Structure 1
Amino acid sequence: MTITQESGAAAVAGSLSQETARWRAWAAETGPADRATAEEGVRLAYRDAGLPEPERVVWAGSPREGVTLVRRGTDFGASVREAVRNAPWAAERGRMHEELGAEGWSRRWSATGGALWDTTQALVDRIRAGVLDELAPGDSAARTEIRLVLLDALLGQQDAPWLAALHTEGPRSKGRRGCAAAPAGGGRSRRWRWCASGPWRCTGTRRGGSATGRGPRWSSPTDSRCAPGAACR
């Protein structure tokens, strides 16, 4: 490797380190979401997946409240998590793996998602445990049902490991849309949400939500009352 190549690699590593630090902070934020940015991100994800976008978004107060709303719903239809999150992220990961090569992708993941994984997953686990303990402290059947609802949630800013790894700007991102190509500011505005096929198109809380082409989607921003890992009332 030449001196020029070493300098370039060091610059890239430094940039990734700074970006990872920002995502680490955003993953733990408890302030109110930028609702306009979050709602546009939801609509964009639906459009990119070829689905009718939500007409409006209904915001709940917390993941706990979002789970309660989802459990009470009867007409949400099948989950579209695969279409709006898993499939596009897998495609972007494949594209980056092809572009960077196995070694390059491994380095990128280590500097971004890998560096964020343990702490962010611990936070997600604490939130899930708090919701379970508040909604079903001694009811094993209800806890199983709630776990399934929680596992279907899109985690918003707490998807930080993947958002950081897949996020790119500049010439390489030109022409790409959706979660992986969105500016980091859009990712930090997302909260937990639940997306379904309808007639209600998506559900979430102020960390997640529900919506339809005819009706609302729930989304949930944490606010100053909500500590990380707490189930807010």
Structure 2
Amino acid sequence: MKLTHAQEAMAAAIEDQWLAAAVQTGDATREAAEKGVRDSYLLAGHEAPDRIYWFGSPRAGAVAVALLSGRLSVPDLPPAVTPPAVTPPAASADPVAVTAASSSTPSTSSAAFAAPPAASSAPLSARVVAAASPGSAASGGSGPGADLLAEVVGELLRQGWVPGETAGPSLRRQVRTEPWAAARRAAVETLGSDGWAQLSAAAGRRSWGLVMDLIAGRLRLRLGEDLAAAFPGDDGRAARMPVLDAIYGQHDGPWLSTFEAADRLFPEAGLMTGLAGLAAVARNAGWWWANETAAVLTDRPTTLTRDNVGRLHRGEGAALEFRDGYGLWAWRGMPIPADLASELPALTIDRIRSEGNAEIRRVMLEHYGYDRYLRDAGARKLGSDETGTLWYLDLPGDEPLVMVEVVNSTPEPDGTSRIYWLRVPPRTRSAREGVAWTFGLTAEEYQPLVQT
């Protein structure tokens, strides 16, 4: 079939709705998301999960899945035994509270952690928290991995997890991949291959680029890198594996939109029936994991900042940030270190000059302003003509910064004339040549009748 203009417009409107869901920030709608999870399991022919756990970010969710699936282990625990008779504490003392509080305090003597595991009468949950606490020998010491492990273990326990309880194998294939494949086969049979291709372009092509390429793809890549850095050796591989099993929740909107548009065109075909649970989660939560006996869900981000073409972009903090503090720092889509983001508001000429990484220096220059940097760093004037003024500045370890200063010949409403700065190739030798280059012309070819 061939879609009419009205049908294409309908598909585009559905894509807009799913795009809005894909970039929505704020807490998840947990009750609706959990119902969607249970429906997804049932539609796939599985019993609903026994437990559903919630975490503040995909990073914490991935570590939780690694723990629940047995890939990442909770540190060895001291055995539980009946303690020998000792002088009883004061009647007002709470031995469990004392044990838990002391074991989770980072300032506890390192000698105590260096000794072999001693028998303990503390409850199992308290001993798990103690073993996973940053600084303990069992947790691997201190650092981002130990901190994250302790946070995830504590959150699992708070939500009712019993140490040793596992979630079973991943059901991503059964819950997500197979329903998608079945729905696609049915859609192609219903619309024909040409009709399906046309509908996919009308209902999903734009949002796929904006969401999957510029947000979800960047998050997936950075998440793997961060988990590898946080956990050494085999633990790093174990922590990264769940990233491959993630279901993207709200970021699945770009392909769900096409199926919803197809379902709207042919409601009798039931094209969204097998995807209803996945769609419910996507409308109400972030990334999630489906395992045999437990599901792990995450909240949507609290912050999402993009530039005018949809790239992650922010100079004053994380461009994509989650409730538990995890985030991605980016400038015009390029990942940048978190400490660089804190530097940007107070950049100096010397700091920019001293940066050895050319890509990071370009980020600094964009934030500082090329025109401002030319003035403050003492750029050399190469010449002027009727088109503008050409400026030149050496950049250590990079190509020279060459720009044309152009004055808009059409005054602003207040009578002033706006100044524009055009970056041109380093080989440029005149302002006319530089301005002509921006139009794809040579200096000789550039002969404007009227300048505006």
Q: Aligning the two structures, in what range does the TM-score lie when normalised by the shorter sequence?
A: 0.7 to 0.9
* In structure 1, C-alpha distance between the alignment counterparts of 2:271 and 2:256, rounded to whole Å: 18
2:4 aligns to what SS in structure 1? Answer: helix
What is the deviation of 1:193? Answer: 1.0
What is the deviation of 1:146? Answer: 3.9
Over 3 Å counting, the alpha-carbon distance change for 1:85 and 1:141 in structure 2 is same
Counterpart for residue 9 of structure 1: 4
Counterpart for residue 18 of structure 1: 13
Q: Which has the higher strand share?
A: 2
Over 3 Å counting, the alpha-carbon distance change for 1:183 and 1:70 in structure 2 is closer
What is the deviation of 1:9? Answer: 1.3
> TM-score, normalized by length of structure 2?
0.42
Counterpart for residue 229 of structure 2: 137
Alignment check: 8 A CA contact 1:49 1:84 kept: yes
1:53 aligns to what SS in structure 2? Answer: coil
Counterpart for residue 218 of structure 1: 296
Residue 250 of structure 2 corresponds to residue 157 of structure 1? yes
Question: Of the candidates 65, 72, 84, which is equivalent to residue 67 of structure 2?
Answer: 72
Residue 46 of structure 2 corresponds to residue 48 of structure 1? no
* In structure 2, C-alpha distance between the alignment counterparts of 1:132 and 1:22, rounded to whole Å: 30
| Percent identical | 31
Alignment check: 8 A CA contact 1:33 1:223 kept: no
**Which amino acid counterpart does residue 175 of structure 2 have in structure 1?**
V
* In structure 2, C-alpha distance between the alignment counterparts of 1:228 and 1:77, rounded to whole Å: 35
Residue 76 of structure 2 corresponds to residue 81 of structure 1? no
Aligned residue-pair number: 210
Alignment check: 8 A CA contact 1:32 1:222 kept: yes
1:83-98 equivalence runs, <5 A: 83-98=174-189
What is the deviation of 1:133? Answer: 4.3
What is the deviation of 1:175? Answer: 8.9
Counterpart for residue 27 of structure 1: 22
Counterpart for residue 287 of structure 2: 192
Over 3 Å counting, the alpha-carbon distance change for 1:173 and 1:33 in structure 2 is farther
1:165-204 equivalence runs, <5 A: 165-167=258-260, 168-169=263-264, 171-172=267-268, 174=270, 177-179=273-275, 181=276, 187-197=282-292, 201=293
1:42 aligns to what SS in structure 2? Answer: helix
2:229 aligns to what SS in structure 1? Answer: coil
* In structure 2, C-alpha distance between the alignment counterparts of 1:127 and 1:45, rounded to whole Å: 24
Counterpart for residue 100 of structure 1: 191
Alignment check: 8 A CA contact 1:126 1:230 kept: no
* In structure 1, C-alpha distance between the alignment counterparts of 2:222 and 2:61, rounded to whole Å: 13
**Which amino acid counterpart does residue 70 of structure 1 have in structure 2?**
V
Residues 93-102 or 141-150, more deviating = 141-150
1:57 aligns to what SS in structure 2? Answer: strand
What is the deviation of 1:23? Answer: 1.4
- RMSD (CA atoms): 2.8
Residues 217-226 or 113-122, more deviating = 217-226
**Which amino acid counterpart does residue 156 of structure 1 have in structure 2?**
G
What is the deviation of 1:114? Answer: 2.2
1:17 aligns to what SS in structure 2? Answer: helix
What is the deviation of 1:117? Answer: 1.7
Counterpart for residue 219 of structure 2: 127
Alignment check: 8 A CA contact 1:130 1:229 kept: no
* CA displacement, residues 134-179 of structure 1 (integer Å, 9 cap, x when unaligned): 4333757555444431111000110112211112247335596332
Alignment check: 8 A CA contact 2:246 2:289 kept: yes
1:137 aligns to what SS in structure 2? Answer: helix
5+ residue gaps, structure 1, are 202-210, 212-216
Over 3 Å counting, the alpha-carbon distance change for 1:36 and 1:123 in structure 2 is same
Counterpart for residue 208 of structure 1: none
